[in-house]
Structures are given as C-alpha cells and as structure tokens.
Chain A
Amino acid sequence: MPQEALLTMIIQAIIVVVVVLSSFAYLTLLERQLIGRFQARRGPNRAGPFGLMQPLADLGKLTFKEDFVPEGANATIFRLSPLICVIAAVATLSVIPFGGVHEIGGHTITLYGADLSVGVLFVFAMSSLGFYGLILGGWASGNKYSLLGAARSAAQLVSYEVAMGLSIVGVVMISQSLSLVDIANDQAAHIWYIVYQPIGFIIFMIAAFAETNRTPFDLGEAESELIAGYNLEYGSVKFAMFFLAEYTNMIIVSALAATLFLGGPDGPFLPGFIWLGIKIAVLLFVFIWVRATVPRLRYDRLMKFGWKVLLPVATANLLLTAVIVGLGFAN
C-alpha cells in the first residue's frame, strides 16, 4: 500500500480524534451553561470569557486530585475499566462518515475512517465493548451502590439495545446496505430516511437516551438513591475517563442518528462535515434540553417501557416497512 494513503489515514484519524475530544470538553461546558440557563441562573463563567477555560480548569483540578483504590476493590480491573470505556468510544469513531471523498491539492482525502460493509454492526459491537468497562468498573469497586448501579445500567442497556437494533432494520431495508457510507450516500441521492422512517427515528432517539445513560433513563447513576452509580468510587482522571467515554458516546450516537435518518453530511451550500456538525449539535442540544425538562423514570417503569412499549412498536414498524419496501410500493 502506498505510503501516502497510510499517512492520510493516520492524519484523518488524528484530526477526528482531536476534534471529537475537544468537542467533548466543550460539550460539558455547553451542558453546564445551558442547564444553568434552563434553571434561570448563570452557568460557569469565572474561568476565562464565558467560562471558556472551564474544561481546562476541570482537567487541571482532576489531575491533581488523589487517585486511590478503595479497600475491597479488585485493583487490576478497577484500574483497567476506564481504559476499556475510552478505547471503545474512540474506536467507534472510525466508521462514522464525516463526509465523502475529496480532492485537495492532488491528494485524495477521505473524511471517513473505514467504509466497512458491516458498519452498523461494528458500531453495536464497539458500544457493547464499552459497556464492559462500565459493568466491570461498577463490579470491581467493591461498593454496593456501584454494583447496583452497574447491574441496573447493564439491564437497561441490553433492554433498549433490542429496540434500537430493530429501529435500524427499517433503514437497512431501504438502503440495502449495512455500510454507513452507503447509507449516507443513498440519502444524498434520494431523500432523508426520516421521511420513510419517522417512527424508527423516534424509537432510535428514545433508545439512544437509554444507551448513553442520559436523563430520563439515567437510573444507573440516580444520585438520589445510588449517589453516583458505577463510577462512585472513582476519582481523579479515572472519573474523567468515564465522563469522556459517556459524552463521546453521546456525540457518536448523535452522529449515528444524523447518518441513519437525517442524511448524514448531506445539505446545500456548506461542505458536508459542517452540515453533519450542525445536525450533531442540534441533537446534542436535544439531549441537554431533555435532561433539563424530564424527570427520571422509576426503574420498573423504565424496564416496562423498554419491553412492553418500545419493542412491540419497533416490531410493528419493522413489519410495515418490510411489506412496503419488499412488495415494491416504494421505489
């Protein structure tokens, strides 16, 4: 393989990782600012203009905090699980299509990392690997709240994963491909899939809230009963690593929703990656908006909603799509 191709791949990967990780830092600031505004108060505004240095200040503070392994913890797994979360989150970024293939100064630049024929399944596989970090972290802490939080998160994640998977099947039927690049291109050539799959999009977004452990489905870290859930015993930068993984997953799931339903990088006038950025930003705003608006569910209702409402609706949507697409009513 030519060296230049390898080099552009590496540069693309570094740019994507740096951009996403810095958006993670500013996403935490944005969330705190917006939550502040929703609650009729100001968010963090002391570190730099508009609090723009706040993420750096947070990192500095967390770096100099003491990092210790509590008694009764399984030290090796306790130390390793945040690493699993971070690696899985970063690896998922490789299949997100941030744009198409461009020619810049005679060099061919692809704005996506890998065009896998099984892109959708790869995202699922990697996010499941991320759950391992979360569950092992909660188990290894040797704390009752952590263990309960981890068990709850695990049960919630697997329950909503089924509904999420079913909601994507409809998209796959229309696109006839599991590759995220093909799905994005097909939408650019025809029409955004949200037009064909409005119910699928709603199911996907609800499941996305549960998959990323966000309010109203943040039962794994319910402060009022579990203190903080699986990351309770974590301090210092290890806590920040769980945080990084959670927020990166939020960015990934927004990018996935934009790619599967909202046309990915498709849009007029502006370059593709800017359009994708706008769509991701809007979806992230919805995440924060919902957190500020909706109270947390009770755990039994959460499970009931996942299995008795979301799963049947997703199955009905799947059957309807299969009949319409398979019998050739939509061409």
Chain B
Amino acid sequence: MDLRTWLPILIYLVLGAGVAVALFSLSLIGRKRPNATKALPFESGILTTQPARQRFSIDFYLTAMLFIVFDIELAFLYPLAVVLRDVGVTAVIELVVFTTILVGALTYVWRKGALEWR
C-alpha cells in the first residue's frame, strides 16, 4: 500500500483547515456588544420556559438503529460488487441470498411498524 496516493488528501485537509480558520477569524472582526436579551435563545420573542435539551420522539432512535443495520449490510455489498463479474454465478447466488435476508429484515421491521412515523 503506497501512502503517497493519500498525500493529496492531507494537502486538501490542510487547505480546508486553512479556509475554515480564515473564515473563523473573519467572524472576530465584528463589534461585540453582548447583552442579556441578545443572549436568550431565539424563540420568536417569547421567553423560554424550559431548557432546550429535552427528550424527543423515539422514532429518531429507531431510525438510527435501522440505519446502522442497513448501512453495515451496504458496506458488505461493496466488495462483493467489485468482484461480481470476476467471480460470476457464485457471486450472484451469494448476493441474491444476502439481499433476500436484507429484504426479509426490511419486511419484518415494516410489518412491525418500525417504519411508521408517529
């Protein structure tokens, strides 16, 4: 593995950091005149009654779980896709079996109602 191919990425990361820091320092130019009202969370002029970080819908958590499952399956599909033409029929059968399990899982969560947004 030649690390030289990764060198441009380091260059781009440094450039990106440079751009980000330059823009960040621009934000220091503006005049600072803080006051108590200005520092309030913006809620259309209504005074905030409760802290912002509260519990919210369980559906977000469910979506995150589903994403992890399907994204890992996706990560397994990529190497198989690269060698698919070389390996031929065996790879196709493996891929069909694998995808059937994936579709089975999707059908299960679908029937269980995990894809419904309440």
Contacts and interface: CB of A to CB of B under 8 A. Distances in A.
Contact of B44 (A139, A154, A161, A227): A227
Given A13-B15, A303-B63, A303-B115, A327 B89 contact: yes
Which residue, of A70, A240, A299, has the highest number of chain B Cβ atoms within 10 A?
Answer: A70
Interface SS of A by simple majority = helix
A147 B42 CA distance: 12
Contact of B20 (A87, A144, A147, A318): A87
Interface in A140-196: 141-148, 151, 154-155, 158-159, 161-162, 165-166, 169-170, 172-173, 176-178
A14 B12 CA distance: 8
A13 B20 contact: no
A172 B8 contact: no
Contact of A144 (B6, B12, B52): B52
Interface residues of B, number: 72
Dominant secondary structure at the B interface: helix
Given A143-B41, A151-B56, A158 B63 contact: yes
Interface in B79-101: 81-89, 91-92, 95-96, 99
Nearest to B17: A87
A304 B59 CA distance: 12
Interface residues of A toward B: which range?
35 or more
A155 B11 contact: no
Given A113-B12, A326-B91, A155 B41 contact: no
Contacts of B117: 299-300, 303-304
Q: Specify which of B11, B17, B86, B106 lies most central, judged by the most chain A CB atoms within 10 Å of its CB.
A: B11
B41 A9 contact: no
A31 interface: no
Given A176-B86, A237-B27, A326-B88, A155 B60 contact: yes
A90 B19 contact: yes
B5 A114 contact: yes
Given A161-B67, A161-B71, A325 B41 contact: no
A68 B67 contact: no
A48 interface: no
Contact of A72 (B41, B59, B67, B95): B41
A238 interface: yes
Interface stretch (A58-66, A204-212, A275-283): A58-66
Contacts of A236: 27, 30
Given A90-B15, A90-B19, 20 more contacts: A1-B4, A12-B8, A17-B19, A64-B31, A66-B33, A68-B38, A83-B20, A90-B13, A113-B9, A114-B5, A144-B43, A162-B67, A176-B84, A177-B82, A240-B23, A303-B117, A315-B106, A318-B99, A327-B92, A328-B85
27 contacts: A1-B7, A17-B15, A66-B30, A66-B32, A67-B30, A72-B52, A82-B20, A82-B23, A82-B24, A94-B8, A94-B12, A95-B9, A115-B5, A116-B6, A117-B5, A143-B43, A154-B64, A155-B63, A166-B77, A169-B74, A170-B81, A172-B78, A237-B24, A237-B27, A315-B99, A319-B96, A322-B96
